[in-house]
Structure 1
Amino acid sequence: MQAILDTFRKDLYAGQTVLVSGATSGIGLAIAQGFAGMGATVVATGTSQEKIDRARNDPALLAIRFERLDVRDRSAIDAFVPSLGSLSVLVNAAGIVKPDAEFSEDAYMEVIDVNMNSAMRLAMASHPLLKASKGAIINTASMLSYLADDRVPAYCASKTGIVGLTRALAHKFGPDGIRVNAIAPGYHKTAMTQDIWSVPELAGKIERRTAMKRWGTVEDLVGTCLFLASPAALYVTGTTLPVDGGYVNGGW
């Protein structure tokens, strides 16, 4: 992580507030740590009180403020976001996956709600604050925005939808000076993908298709987010940037 942060000016986000949903672990937490390392006031949200308590008691995470927020609850979001007072960057990182179960309507709708609808809720609630700061939104798409996995139809649909939502919001919010982009992670080692990377045969199959011949880490996504929210990307909006080590355009 430090090598990534050393690429940027240390005070790049000093005086700015960054909100990251789904940030008590995994990709969201790494992104929150990245912005905090650049001087931002970072508010990280999640739904698991156990994870929130653990994060609050972790000496390495003292620079981040952890709060409970159910991204499925519009009323809670509409009350929470304005309470921040100011906001420069919104990172929509909340996400779930339910392999095989997503063929039931209840599971399908829950995954869509968390992965895609929450991004819209948070974007709309954040709009007034981001308009005031001329800020940025970073959504989380996926390699499955472009590929198929027959075990997770809702995940595929939600992540494909994020690409379209990112484009639409970029044009809607652009006149207000707000940029909206997305990242599309590939196979990164997280708890969500552990059932694959913990099996050597499966992990090796992924590595062989990836141009970099390795799995991604959560830290591999941090620099891309820091760039997309920075002045270096002031004319970048409506785009989804793959951070997948070349997996999607690879071959077996």
Structure 2
Amino acid sequence: MHQVSAAFEGQRVLVIGASRAGIGAAIARAFQDAGAEVTITGVEAAPAPEDAARFAYRQLDVTDGAAVEALSAAMPRLDVLVNGAAITARGEEMAPEFFSKVVDINLTGTMRCALAFRPQLAEAKGSLINIASMYAGFGSPKNPAYGASKAAVQQLTKSLAIAWAEDGIRVNAVVPGFIVTAQSARSREDATHVANVNARTPLGRWGQPEDIAGPVLFLASEAAAFMTGACIPVDGGYSVV
């Protein structure tokens, strides 16, 4: 595993949106391996079987403000919050009702969680890390709601970095490229799409969830103590071509 060498012993970490095998779960495992006490959430009743015994799990719908506040009340201490809850449905996002749902989860859900845990992060002089997407900077004709919401997550990251600096909270984002996850499974059924991504990506492959975990741990660590408002691409070079 590619992991930043950083000590998180004694730190409490909450990863929102980590119930399935994917980026959130990989981030949670990396923090735990580095010594942190990790709680994960997901909309499902239970996490992936391999994580059920590993993490404290809280079922959470990030569109439910009362549920988000209740989770915050149950966690009086927090050092790191990772906002990773998101949905997308390739080819279905032009429908206005579904577009609104995607934005409510991906963008407004990120803000709900950030606001709910601001007091704990301020007390800890902690770190908020949002998971954006490469689609924040590219047109996404089959995923317009996802692209728009993730572009807004990047803007929100920059705005909160300024607003919360006085609290000692650092706010950054990681911007994944094409990653092999359950969420990308539908797009990976298109062999031409997969081949085109590989051909354009300088490193010649799709990323793995573990490729995102290292940069997240770096941003949460003292090695990044002078970084806030940064949105770091982790895409194998796709966005620079």
TM-score relative to the length of structure 2: 0.95
Select the residue among 30, 34, 41 that pairs with 1:34.
Answer: 30
Render the CA deviation track for 1:192-245: whole Å, top value 9, x for unaligned: 112333444321110110010111000000100000000000110011000001
Tell me the number of residue pairs that the alignment of Structure 1 and Structure 2 aligns: 240
Given the alignment, which residue of 8, 14, 18 partners 2:5? 8
CA-based RMSD: 1.3
Q: Which has the higher helix share?
A: 1
**Which position in structure 2 is the counterpart of 1:24?**
19
**Using the alignment, how far apart are the partners of 1:198 and 1:111 within structure 2?**
22
Contact kept? 1:138, 1:182, Cα under 8 Å: yes
Contact conserved, 1:33 with 1:61, CA < 8 A, in 2?
A: no
Q: Which residue does the alignment assign to 1:192? A: 183
> Whole-Å Cα distance in 2 between the matches of residues 238 and 201 of structure 1?
36
1: distance between equivalents of 2:99 and 2:237?
29
Gaps of 5+ in 1: none
1:48-96 deviation digits (Å, cap 9, x = unpaired): 11x42x43xx3x6633111101111011111111211200000000010
State how 1:58-69 maps to structure 2 within 5 Å.
Answer: 58=50, 62-69=53-60
**Greater relative contact order structure (CA < 8 Å, 6+ sep):** 2
- Select between 72-81 and 200-209 the one with higher mean Cα deviation: 200-209
Instruction: Give deviations 1:141-197, integer Å, cap 9, x for gaps.
Output: 111000011111111110000011001100111011000000110001111112333
2:226 counterpart of 1:235: yes
1:144/1:156 contact within 8 Å kept: yes
CA distance in 2, matches of 1:197, 1:98: 13
Structure 2 CA distance, aligned partners of 1:147 and 1:199?
Answer: 19
What corresponds to 1:84 in structure 2? 75
What is the TM-score when the length of structure 1 is the normalising length? 0.91
Which residue pairs with 1:175 in the alignment?
166
